[in-house]
Amino acid sequence: MKIHEYQAKELFQKYGVPIPRGKVALTVEEAKAAAEELGTLPVVIKAQIHAGGRGKGGGVKLAQTADEVTSVADSILGMTLVTHQTGPEGRLVRKVLVEEGLEIEKELYLSLLPDRATATIVLMASEAGGMDIEEVAAATPEKIVKVHVNPLLGLQPFMTRKLAYGLRLEADLVKQFIPMVNALYRLCMDYDASLVEINPLVITKDRRILALDAKINFDDNALFRHKDILGYRDLDEEDPLEVEASKYNLNYIKMDGNIGNMVNGAGLAMATMDIIKLAGAEPANFLDVGGGASAEMVENGFRIILSDPNVKGVLINIFGGILRCDVLAQGVVEATKKVNVKVPVVIRMEGTNVEQGREILYKSGLNLIVAKDLSDAAEKVAAIAKA
């Protein structure tokens, strides 16, 4: 799960990580009131969307006067912000964060995330802050300092010192930096974060060190034990079909292609997407209905795939284990009757009760294309893609 910058900063504040003073606003009026409450100029007005690169896209602007607060807030609220992370369609800005403008001496980078390869939490810091960290990593990897933390042993003092020295911080800043890193590590562990990133972490002219930006992603599989952050979820920032799918516990991810597919098991789903590509088409989604899917889940999955206007054909590929082929067939038939299916549907299934399943499909009288096996399914899907 992703959250907004202003929400991440709320958590930072709770953990004692210094942030600029600021307030979120949903309207120009609220932005004006927030700036007055801050009682300082300039203020920075920042678009709140679940994507980075807002600065370059025109979603982060300084306002030097009260009139500028109004005009800048008015231009950002309601804009469709396009950044390298939003895709060309961009995102509608519904909220802004109004913050005190700071005088910045230097921009740094700091992040924490689980490193799967070493099963540790890796902390990364760099003097090259405010830039795209992927570019820094590619062009000048020596500018990134890393420490790996064994989660059983925890973050050790020598590690935070290594980061501080790597950033070439002077003594007065080291004193502020170390408790901050410890707090961020606690936050990351307490909330099962999959990413905590501050870019930039700034040193101000009056020698304070603060999180100017804040990004936190959470591991969805651990959300059940963090009920307090569920309220941070912003459905406006998620794909509507993915939101719908999450209601039924379906692992659905929307993609750009035109062949919808419904599969049981993540591995088989990946293989099916490969087959679709091999056949010269592009998958419209990833959908794993799970090993023990019910007819109802199949029906909902099918309905969600078909409500994507890009979908020109569907491949259903099921290995009947716990989910029996007859249950699947029943779900598909029910769904086909309810939903107005205008595109060809190819079904390949194998496994438990496959004969009964095929029987149900044939007898339904519906226009379902039954494939003999996987390669037959691939050929049939290729034909749809070419048509």
Q: Which residues bind ligand GDP (CB under 6 A)?
A: 44, 46, 52-55, 60, 101-102, 104, 107, 130, 199-200, 212-213
The nearest distance, CB 17 to ligand GDP, in angstroms, is: 15
Q: Which is nearer to ligand GDP, 47 or 335 (by Cβ)? A: 47
Q: What number of other Cβ atoms are within 10 A of residue 148's Cβ?
A: 13
* 195 annotated ligand binder: no
Location of structure tokens 């079909």: 241
User: Beta strands 104-115 and 193-204: pairing type?
Assistant: antiparallel
Q: Is 111 a residue that touches Mn ion (CB under 5 A)?
A: no
Is position 102 annotated in a ligand binding site? yes
44 makes contact, choosing from ligand GDP, Mn ion, none, with CB < 5 to 8 Å by partner type, with: ligand GDP
Of 102 and 181, which has the nearer Cβ to ligand GDP?
102
Radius of gyration of the chain (CA): 25
Is residue 46 part of an annotated ligand binding site?
yes
- Give whichever of 58 and 344 is closer to ligand GDP, judged by the CB atom: 58
Contact status: 199 vs Mn ion (CB under 5 A): yes
Q: Please indicate if the annotation marks 264 as binding a ligand.
A: yes
What are the structure tokens assigned to 321, written together? 């284990």
- The least CB distance from residue 49 to ligand GDP, in Å, is 9
Q: Is 213 in the site for Mn ion (CB under 5 A)?
A: yes
Residue 55 labelled as part of a binding site: yes
CA atoms lying within 13 Å on the CB side of residue 282: 8
| 213 assigned ligand-binding residue | yes
Residue among 4 and 380 whose Cβ is closer to Mn ion:
4
Structure-token match 């990351």, residue found: 188
Tokens 């199949």, located at residue = 298
> Closest separation between CB of residue 269 and ligand GDP, Å?
32
- In whole angstroms, how close is the CB of 343 to ligand GDP at the nearest point? 39
Name the residue nearer to ligand GDP (CB basis): 63 or 316. 63
**Is 303 labelled as part of a ligand binding site?**
no
Active-site annotation holder among 6, 109, 185, 191: 109
Count of chain residues binding Mn ion (CB under 5 A): 2
- For residues 330 and 363, is the Cβ–Cβ distance under 8 A? no
Say which of 6, 185, 191, 197 is annotated catalytic. 197
Query: Does the footprint of Mn ion cover residue 299 (CB under 5 A)?
Result: no
Residues 6+ positions from 347 with CB-CB distance below 8 Å: 315, 316, 317, 318, 329, 332, 361, 368, 369, 370, 371, 377
Active site residue 109: yes
Extract long-range pairs of 73-82: CB within 8 Å, 24+ residues apart: 73/25, 73/28, 73/31, 73/32, 73/45, 73/98, 74/28, 76/45, 76/47, 77/25, 77/26, 77/27, 77/28, 77/31, 79/47, 81/47, 81/49, 81/51, 81/54, 81/57, 82/57
User: Which residues are CB-contacts of 29 (< 8 A; sequence separation ≥ 6)?
Assistant: none
Residue 191 known to be catalytic: no
Q: Which amino acid is at 214?
A: A
**Closer by beta carbon to ligand GDP, 75 or else 294:** 75
CA 168 → CA 17, 158, 252, 320, distances in Å? 20, 15, 45, 59
Residue stretches of the annotated binding site for ATP:
46, 53-55, 99, 102, 107
- Binding site residues, Mn ion, CB under 5 A: 199, 213
Residue stretches of the annotated binding site for Mg(2+):
199, 213
Residue stretches of the annotated binding site for substrate:
264, 321-323
Report, as residue numbers or ranges, the catalytic residues.
Answer: 109, 197
